[in-house]
Every structure is written in C-alpha cells, then in structure tokens.
C-alpha cells in the first residue's frame, strides 16, 4: 500500500527503503549538491516515517457489539422474540491488522441451548490475544427450529463476517469457522454445504461466499447415524424420527470433498456424550479427499471442557491450535 505525502506524491515502504539505500551511497560530489541532497534526504525521511505509522488505531477500550444477522427479520422466523433473532457478537482484538484473520465461533448445546460463555466469549478472548477478530454466533435452536434454519444462520454469519472485513481490519479470504459439540456439527455442515454467493441477490451480503477458509472443530458432533450419532442433537435439529436419507444428508463425514477447508480437530477418548469416532471419521474423510487436516485425541477429559487451561494435559490444546494457525500463516498478515 502506498503512503501519501503532503505534496500529493506517494511512496511505498519498499520505495522508502530503496531511497534510504541511495542516500547511504551518495558521494562527496552528491553531498556538495545541496539541492539534490536536501530533496532526497527529506523524501527518504518522510517516506520512512510514514511507512512506520500504523494504519489503524489500537483498540484499547473496545467492547463487544451485537448485531442481528438480518436487519429486517430472519427468513423463516416464527416471531420477533430473542429466540427468533439470530445475532453475531463482535470481539475486536487490540490490533486487527496484526494477523488479518477473523474467526466465527458456534457454541454447542445439543441444538437446544448455547454454551456462549465457555464455548463463546472465553474462546473469542483467546483469539483476541492472537490478534484475531472473533465473532460469536447466536443461531436459532430446536425444537422450535429445524434444519435448514440453523445452517442458513451459519451461512449468513459467514457472509456477514466476510462483508465487514474492511471495517474491522482483517482480510476477506482469511475467515475461519469454529464449532463446539453441536456447534461443531453446524460448523462442519457449513464447511461441507456452501456456495460462492448469489450474484443477483438484492442484499449485498448474500452476494459473497459462505465457504469458511479454515475450520476448527472441538469435540464435534459429526454424524447423525448410529452408533456414534448424538440422538439429542439429531432430534433437536431434524425433528422426531428423521428418515435415514435426511440423517445421511446431515452426516458430514459422508459429505467431504476436496473443496473442504483445512481443518483442526480435537476430542477425548473419555468423551461418552459425543464419541471421538465423530472426529476420527471426519478426519479420515478429509484425508481421503486430500484436505489438509490435523487431529488431537486426548485420553482424558469429559465432553464440553472448553479451554480447560487448568488441566496440564488437555489444557495444551489451545497452544496446539495456535501453532497450527501459525504454521498456516494465519497469525501474521
């Protein structure tokens, strides 16, 4: 990006560096030429100073802000109450330009409630510490709402985050999605059921892609089929006695393609609520499709542990995730 100066001309940080090199190479004859030296020196100093000036002010006092996903009511809404209004809450980091990355977080809760504290706000703050702009999704829930309402909320949220990239200071092609438990099912559904946008949509948000650029799944529900499916989540999402075809359509280990985003997974062997076979089978499907993936299955730890930083073993997973993000270049602009 070029830097503008008062005289209307501009120079980039690279140009400033080259000019500075030219200054150091000036001969005695050059120095005697005062006009040349003064112009060149002032230009170099101005460019270097401006190249070092931050493009965005630091957010020392920023508080989370919540917005409705649709300004005039969500499609398929059964009312106007809080439970009928999907929202997105923005957690800005100190400096969003440090990483240029954003993450949308879907808390779990069996598709009937949202664990928005330890699988939402706390995780958003973790990402803020990495310089990542975090968003927590409040999606509609069963048994009041069933598929495809929840997926529509997640897709809209991804489009919303991508559309607001310039406003918040990250790049629109570095938008990730993270889900816990049933939120992990929603996240893996969005990562296997996406489109590139609807060019003729009246709403500009709907014209952009809803494909996440990377995916993070924590002890996720993946399948809707026995023996590893979570029946509570299946009933809340699909209704009572869903047919086999619908269950297969929403079993995301069966819907992986080469277009899936790179994925980080974690689970525990001790999880008896959502067995780790959910993560393992999704990982194997990603591997078969040639999608970059990393999986960690810890021996101990119950379902729904969140960050669990007090556990000396399981609590290391946020560090493993940070390393994975760093390896993929997502923590440096």
CA–CA distance, 16 with 47 (Å, rounded to integer)? 5
SS3 of residue 150 by DSSP: helix
Where would I find the beta strands (DSSP E) of the chain?
A: 3-4, 10-11, 65-68, 87-91, 102-106, 133-138, 175-180, 214-218, 263-268, 293-298
Residue 55: per-residue pLDDT: 55
Give the C-alpha distances (Å, rounded to integers) separating 318 from 130, 282, 312. 11, 20, 12
**β-pair type (102-106, 133-138):** parallel
282 Cβ contact partners less than 8 Å away, ≥ 6 residues apart = 188, 217, 220, 222, 252, 253, 256, 263, 265
Question: One digit per residue, pLDDT tens: the chain, 333 residues?
Answer: 444 433 444 444 444 444 444 444 444 444 344 344 444 444 444 444 444 434 567 878 778 999 999 999 999 999 999 999 999 999 999 998 999 999 999 999 999 999 999 999 999 999 999 999 999 999 999 999 999 999 999 999 999 999 999 999 999 999 999 999 999 999 999 999 999 999 999 999 999 999 999 999 999 999 999 999 999 999 999 999 999 999 999 999 999 999 999 999 999 999 999 999 999 999 999 999 999 999 999 999 999 999 988 899 999 999 999 999 999 999 997
What are the tokens at 78?
């059964």
> Would you state the pLDDT for residue 61?
79
d(CA 299, CA 162): 37
Which among 226, 154, 139 is positioned nearest to 188, based on CA atoms?
154
Going along 82-205, which residue ranges are E strands? 87-91, 102-106, 133-138, 175-180
pTM of the model: 0.83
| 243 and 305 Cβ atoms separated by less than 8 Å | no
**182-192 vs 149-163: helix crossing angle, rounded to 10:** 70
DSSP bridge pairs for 11: 3
Q: Dump the DSSP string for 241-300.
A: S--HHHHHHT-GGGS--TTSPPEEEEEETT-SSS-THHHHHHHHHHHHHT--EEEEEESS
- Looking at residue 6, its pLDDT comes to 37
Is there a contact between 147 and 237 (Cβ–Cβ < 8 Å)? yes
Classify 64 in phi/psi space as left (phi over 0), alpha (psi -120 to 50) or beta: beta
Residue 71 contacts residue 47 (beta carbons within 8 Å): no
Q: Which of 246, 127, 257 is nearest to 188 (CA)?
A: 257
> Phi-psi bin for 76: left (phi > 0), alpha (psi -120 to 50), beta?
left
């Amino acid at each position: 990006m070029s830097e503008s100066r008062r005289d209307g001309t501009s120079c980039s940080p690279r140009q400033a560096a080259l000019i500075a090199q030219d200054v150091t190479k000036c001969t005695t004859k050059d120095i005697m030429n005062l006009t040349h030296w003064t112009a060149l020196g002032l230009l170099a100093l101005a460019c270097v100073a401006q190249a070092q000036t931050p493009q965005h002010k630091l957010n020392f006092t920023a508080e989370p802000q919540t917005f409705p996903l649709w300004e005039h009511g969500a499609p398929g809404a059964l009312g106007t109450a809080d439970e009928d209004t999907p929202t997105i809450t923005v957690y800005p980091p100190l400096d969003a330009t440090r990483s240029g990355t954003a993450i949308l977080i879907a808390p779990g809760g069996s598709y009937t409630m949202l664990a928005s504290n330890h699988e939402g706000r706390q995780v958003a703050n973790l990402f803020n510490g990495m310089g990542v702009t975090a968003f927590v999704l409040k999606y509609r829930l069963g048994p009041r709402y069933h598929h495809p309402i929840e997926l529509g909320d997640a897709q809209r949220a991804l489009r919303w985050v991508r559309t607001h990239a310039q406003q918040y200071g990250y790049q629109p092609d570095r938008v990730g999605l993270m889900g816990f438990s049933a939120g992990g099912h929603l996240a893996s559904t969005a990562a296997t059921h996406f489109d590139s946008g609807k060019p003729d949509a009246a709403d500009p948000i709907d014209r952009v892609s809803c494909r996440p650029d990377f995916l993070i799944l924590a002890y996720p529900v993946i399948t809707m089929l026995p023996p590893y499916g979570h029946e509570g989540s299946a009933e809340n999402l699909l209704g009572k006695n869903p047919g086999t075809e619908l269950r297969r359509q929403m079993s995301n280990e069966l819907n992986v393609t080469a277009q899936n985003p790179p994925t980080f997974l974690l689970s525990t062997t001790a999880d008896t609520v959502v067995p780790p076979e959910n993560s393992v089978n999704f990982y194997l499907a990603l591997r078969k499709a040639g999608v970059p993936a990393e999986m960690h299955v810890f021996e101990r730890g119950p379902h729904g542990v969140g960050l669990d930083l007090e556990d000396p073993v399981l609590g290391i997973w946020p560090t493993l995730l940070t390393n994975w993000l760093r390896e993929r270049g997502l923590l440096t602009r």
